[in-house]
Every structure is written in structure tokens, then in C-alpha cells.
Amino acid sequence: MFKSKEKSSLPVVLVTGGARRIGAELCRGFAAAGWRVLIHCNKSIEDGGKLAMELGGREHAQVLVSDLQDGNADGLVRDAVSVFGQLDAVVNNASTYARRDLLTMTESELALDFIVNFLSPFGIMRAFARLGKPGVILNILDGRIAKQDTKCPGYLLAKKCLAEATEMCALAWGKLGIRVNGIAPGLVRPKDGVPMSAMERLVSQLPLGTRTTEEELVKAAIYLAEAKGVTGTILHVDSGLHIADANIGEK
């Protein structure tokens, strides 16, 4: 679905899970900031294709299809480089969320949570670093990494691991010119098919009493991607979720 190009002065970013929802808004934001965009998706190929056309077509945006459960991070990064001849940034946005019971969840369920939410993005980080060139890695985390939420244990444990990896890799790869940062969003939007009003009770319990908007996340992502003196930073864009009562949602 892509065509190789010669290297250009315009930077290139790969956004995993970039065809829909927050990922699509991140792609739009990077495109508006002058980046060429690689829209990664798995099943949302049609959405990805429409977004690529919206962002200017083959010269400015293309789609990469890959299942993050297959463990082929090196292949995804290699394909990403081949599209425009370079890769300057990676945004690990793709994730899977499942509510599970801490006591009864199976090992296979826990493994699935970790593959998509930690092992795959960590593999992409390492594959990007092995390119041996300066660049930027941005991990989309979750405001709850600063607290506990027993309703989604596998998901949250994996995100906590990715947060630790963000700081570890920033330390390890700084001399290579690779900056690694994270964004921890708050309550952005409910699942597909669920009205925004369903989040209102939770939002009202946050310190700022407002939801996190996609625009705020995009601004944060562009800042971290372009701020050359910032690495190892996890920016909470969550209306104060990370300092809220640990029992939020149960009141």
C-alpha cells in the first residue's frame, strides 16, 4: 500500500493505531505541523486510506498495515523507513483496553494486554533505536499510571511498564540523539457507541472538572516531538487525573 520515496527535508512520523480516534487526530496534528505521516493500522484500512487522502495523499501520508500481536516490530519499522526513505519519529499510540477481574483473569488475557500495550511498543522503540540515527519516540500512556485501577489490571500494568521504559530508554539512548518522552492522557472520549454523557460523572470528579481534549493531546505531542532539550519526560495531560482520589469512579 506504499511506494518508496527519496529522502526529503520534511520529517516523517509513524503513528501506530493512527487511522481512528486519538491516533487520527495525532496524524492530523503532525501533518498540520509540517510532518509527513505514516498511518499504521491493523483492521481499519479503509479509515486509514481516507485519512491519508485527507492529509494530502501519497506525497504526504501513507498507510502501513500490521498486526501488533505478531511481534514483527523490526519489520514495521523497516517498512516505515522504506516509504519515504527516512523515519524521524515514532508515536506508540495503539493500545487495547479490557476490563478484567484481577483474581480470575487468565494468563492468556494478561499476555494479550502486555503484547499490545507494552511488548509491541517496546519492540518498536528498540527497532527505531537500532536504526542508529537521531530521532524522537513518543509513548501514549494513561493518567492512571500514577495510581491504581483494579478494573483494568493487565492494561494498567502494561502501561506502567511502558512508562518505566520511556525513562529507561531516554537515559540509555540520549547519547545517540534519540529523545524518548510520554504523554499520559486523562478522560478523552468513551468507547465507540457510548455517548459522551456517560463520562460526565467521572469528569466531574477530576480536579479541573473537564475532559481531556484531542487538541490538547496534539499540542503536547507536537511540543515533545520538536522540543530538542526534552527527554525522559512524561507529560500528564489529564485534567489532574493523576492527582485525583484513587477511588474516582466509585463515588
pLDDT 10s digits, 83-109:
999 999 999 999 999 999 999 999 999
What is the identity of the amino acid at 191? Answer: K
Cα distances from 170 to residues 4, 119, 156, 164, 165, in angstroms, run 30, 17, 21, 10, 8
CATH number of 12-243: 3.40.50.720
* Mean of pLDDT values over 76-88: 97
How many H helices and E strands in the chain?
Answer: 8, 7
Rounded to whole angstroms, the Cα distance separating 175 from 60 reads: 30
pLDDT tens readout for residues 216-245? 999 999 999 999 999 999 999 999 999 987
The whole-number average pLDDT for the span 123-144 is: 97
C-alpha 125/C-alpha 228 separation (Å) is 18
- Longest C-alpha distance within the chain, in Å? 56
Taking the model in full, what pTM does it have? 0.92
Cβ atoms of 41 and 50 within 8 Å: the answer is: no
Say if residue 221 is exposed, middle or buried (CB neighbours under 10 Å; 0-12, 13-18, 19+): buried
User: Is the sign of the CA dihedral 126, 131, 132, 138 positive or negative?
Assistant: negative
The whole-angstrom separation of Cα 120 and Cα 220 is 23
pLDDT of residue 4: 44
Is the pLDDT assigned to residue 198 strictly greater than 80? no
Output the pLDDT for position 190.
79
Per DSSP, the three-state class of 39 is: strand
What does DSSP say about strands 89-92 and 135-140: parallel, antiparallel, or unpaired?
A: parallel
Q: Is 43 helix (H, G, I), strand (E, B) or coil?
A: coil
Output the nine-digit C-alpha cell for 117: 500495550
Look at the chain and count its residues.
251
Averaged pLDDT for residues 168-192: 94
Mean pLDDT of 126-150: 96
Whether residue 29 is predicted with pLDDT greater than 50 in this model: the reply is yes
pLDDT tier at 251 (50, 70, 90 boundaries)?
A: very low
Give the three-state DSSP class for 68: helix
- Strand 12-15 and strand 61-65: the pairing is unpaired
Greater confidence, 28 or 205? 28
Which amino acid appears at position 28 of this protein? Answer: R
What integer pLDDT is reported at residue 245 of this predicted model? 78
CA distance 128 to 78: 9
Give the distance, in angstroms, between the CA of residue 81 and the centroid of all CA atoms in the same chain: 19
Tally of CB atoms within 10 A around 216 = 18
C-alpha cell at 98: 479490557
Please state, in angstroms and rounded to a whole number, the distance separating the CA atoms of residues 221 and 121: 17
The pLDDT-based confidence of 246 (bands split at 50, 70, 90) is low
Q: pLDDT value at position 8?
A: 60
Q: Tell me: pLDDT of 139 over 90.
A: yes
- Which single residue is written with the C-alpha cell 532539550? 229
